Amino acid sequence: MSVKKTRVPTMLQSVLPLAVLILLLALNVKYFRDDTLSGANQIALILAAAVAGVIAIFLGFRWTFLLKRVTNTIMTAMPAMLILFLIGSLAGTWMVSGVIPMLIYYGLEILSPTIFLFATVFICSLVSVSTGSSWSTVATIGVALLGIGTTLGFNEAMVAGAIISGAYFGDKMSPLSDTTNLAPAVAGTDLFTHIRYMVLTTGPSWIITLVIFLIIGFSGDYTDAATTTTAVRSAILAKFNISPILLIVPAFLIFIIVRKVPPLPALLAGTLLGAICAVIFQPDLLREISGTGGSFVKQAYIAVTKAMFGPVSVATGDASVDELLRTKGMAGMLNTVWLIICAMFFGGMMEASGMLKTITERMMKSVRNAGTLVGSTVATCLFFNVTASDQYLSIVIPGRMYAKKFRDMGYKPELLSRTLEDSGTVTSVLVPWNTCGATQSSVLGVSTWAYAPYCFFNIISPLMTVFVAAVKFRIRRYTPEELARVKEEADRADRELYSEEES
């Protein structure tokens, strides 16, 4: 009842909060530089949300209605925030157990600098396809690969870009991925039709990404890499008991994720297994971390708990290695969680006031053919990743908005589902205040602004899907008979829904 007398926001009113946000974010980058996530961006989001709220109240919306919608929006991000906390704990126990140091140690022995970036994309792609989770891939094998790359002398932002490129390829193509299941469900097609159709755009994007990183690898100078690698491996051996048996921990986590164990219990199991291995393999290190006397049980409990909830560092005498072996636990994720809450506050206010709808409806007016239709969908998905700050909303809302438009123009739903994934899924990690961008930046310890230019797969994918549609390469259309039948079924479903709502 609270929204019956409200007015529809104009385009100017709708873009004003966005303009305020962009201005404040630009000032944050200028004055805070790499420290924008410690509070500056959060304040920018709150102030922009306040501008949206003032306009919404002027349009007749009640505060109680707006607050309820904002609260519901924040609740949609709660699973992501809980996962984020457990990722922090997992990173802590995997460090003190020797799992991550072990992966770094063996990785430095196996991986050549010239093919390292290429191998990073390939390895992360394989793990992500197997698990269906870009977040788990980045938080486990990705952290280890970042350590290896830094040791080999690569720019950490470049390594992070390679990790994310591979992880999001797998997230797009794995039948176990939530977004890969969500996109066809929203568009109205089946999972494997969706995956097969994505190969036409995702395959070329992935190959181009691999070629770019291979060229970068072969054009580098690695004269000092051997000396640095030897020093790092020696420092790791001095502090950790390195054993291939520790590979059981990541292998177990990948196995239970493949078996479709939900993310929260899977990450908790991986965290606890890391804690057990720390007690078995690294007793001396746990005594050092605990900083207390008494029984080993007391020391182990204190050290493992510290690794789960707070910052833990391993002193090796080499400053660069010490930085490599430092974790922040759950506490290190608090800034990210704070950012997600503020981003959801802004997105919820924009959605509740109808401002997002006004902007996206304007985007749809330029649609004329497959190229402009796909381009408009890509722009809308990116818009929702920036404003709603959640990759699921950037798939669901544009999917619902454009489903009828695709159908009316005679295009099959797999074209829509592919476009949603090629843009909504992969660009989420490029936005610093999006749940994905904030999470990966926090997990890897690399600013989103820094790694984004090197996420070649994530940048190429939306451009590739627009290009393929523009040249009309294998664009699937309904036959006249199929289109008539599909429209009739859609009209029947709409009538049934309307009658249910009336009753």
Q: What's the pLDDT tens digit per position in 8-44?
A: 999 999 999 989 988 998 898 788 876 777 888 889 9
Task: Please say if the pLDDT value at position 3 is more than 50.
Answer: no
Residue with more model confidence, 321 or 422: 422
Report yes or no on 446 lying in a domain: no
| 422 — pLDDT class (breaks 50, 70, 90) | very high
pLDDT at 421: 94
Q: Look at the chain and report how many structural domains it folds into.
A: 1
pLDDT at 423: 94
Report yes or no on 322 lying in a domain: yes
Could you report the per-residue pLDDT of 113-125, keeping only the tens digit for each? Answer: 999 999 999 999 9
Please list, in sequence order, all residues whose beta carbon lies within 8 angstroms of the beta carbon of residue 307, skipping any fewer than 6 positions away. Answer: 89, 92, 93, 95, 96, 275, 278, 289, 327, 329
CA gap 114, 124 in Å, rounded: 17
pLDDT at 185: 86
**How confident is the model over 364-385, as a mean pLDDT?**
87
Tell me the pTM: 0.83
Report yes or no on 208 lying in a domain: yes
Structural domain harbouring 166: 79-332
Report yes or no on 439 lying in a domain: no
CA gap 274, 36 in Å, rounded: 32
Task: Please say if the pLDDT value at position 497 is more than 50.
Answer: no
| 4 — pLDDT class (breaks 50, 70, 90) | low
Task: Please say if the pLDDT value at position 390 is more than 90.
Answer: no
Mean pLDDT, the chain, integer: 88
Task: Please say if the pLDDT value at position 68 is more than 50.
Answer: yes
Report yes or no on 464 lying in a domain: no
| 318 — pLDDT class (breaks 50, 70, 90) | confident
Task: Please say if the pLDDT value at position 162 is more than 70.
Answer: yes
Report yes or no on 323 lying in a domain: yes
Nearest to 144 by CA among 91, 69, 200, 93: 91
- For residue 354, count other CB atoms closer than 10 A to its CB: 20
Report yes or no on 284 lying in a domain: yes
Report yes or no on 467 lying in a domain: no
Percent of the chain residues past pLDDT 70, beyond the cut: 96
